[in-house]
Amino acid sequence: MPSLNPCAIAGLVLFVVGLALGAVFDHWLMSGEVQSLKKDQALALAAAESGRADAEVKYRQLEDQLRTELTQVKDDAKRQTDRMLADAADARATADSLRQQVARVTNRCAASAAATAATGGAPATNAGDMLADVLGSMEAEGRAMAEEAERRGIAGRACEQAYNSAFHQMQAH
């Protein structure tokens, strides 16, 4: 059996010890890097979560602000519609008064026509009746058109106001 040289054995032992120390050092180094990577990842996740939470808070605030503004627009439109309906009721009352005056004029015209016919004169066409019919029809149609135009105007302004409010809020954020 060949004899082993003590230097060779020492070299072999040093080589094995060096490999073991290298492996331990490499493991220690890798473990530090892994820990560093885990720490960096945890920080990045925390920052992302914080950013998400901040964005959610801002979105909720924007949503609440838009809801409040749209409610105000709706309430304003309701008040305008109520005011328009009250004005329309006043206009109807005025129209009723005018109809009563036209009826009085029509009755006078009819009485005058009856008196003319009783004295043997030529019967006149009843212009008062025709005037009353024309004025009544014009007033009713005019009132209906005015109410519809006012409703559409209120709805259009409310829609425009809601759009502008939402548009400006989105541009601000």
**Three-state DSSP string of 2-67:** CCCCHHHHHHHHHHHHHHHHHHHHHHHHHHHHHHHHHHHHHHHHHHHHHHHHHHHHHHHHHHHHHH
| pLDDT band for position 115 (cuts 50, 70, 90) | low
User: Beta-carbon neighbour count of residue 109 at 10 Å?
Assistant: 19
Backbone angles phi, psi at 124, to 5 degrees: -90, 150
Model confidence at 124: pLDDT above 60? no
> What are the CA-CA distances from residue 104 to residues 48, 94, 129, 135, 147 (Å)?
83, 15, 11, 14, 28
pLDDT of the residue at 56:
92
pLDDT at 123: 54
Mean pLDDT of the chain, nearest integer: 81
If one compares 47 and 98, the residue with the highest pLDDT of the two is 47
- What would the mean pLDDT of 63-77 be, rounded to a whole number? 90
Which of 81, 84, 82, 89 has the alpha carbon at shortest distance from 158?
Answer: 81
Range 126-145 average pLDDT:
78
Report which of 72, 86, 77, 82 is spatially closest to residue 165, judged by C-alpha positions: 72
C-alpha dist (Å) from residue 58 to 122, 130, 141, 143? 86, 68, 51, 48
Residue 98, pLDDT > 70, answer: yes
Provide the pLDDT confidence category of residue 57 given band limits of 50, 70 and 90.
Answer: very high
CA distance 102 to 110: 12
Tell which phi-psi region holds residue 123, choosing left (phi > 0), alpha (psi between -120 and 50) or beta.
beta
* Confidence check: pLDDT of 10 > 70: yes
Q: What is the pLDDT of residue 131?
A: 73
Any idea what DSSP says for residue 124? Answer: P
157: tokens are 């302004």
The whole-number average pLDDT for the span 133-139 is 80
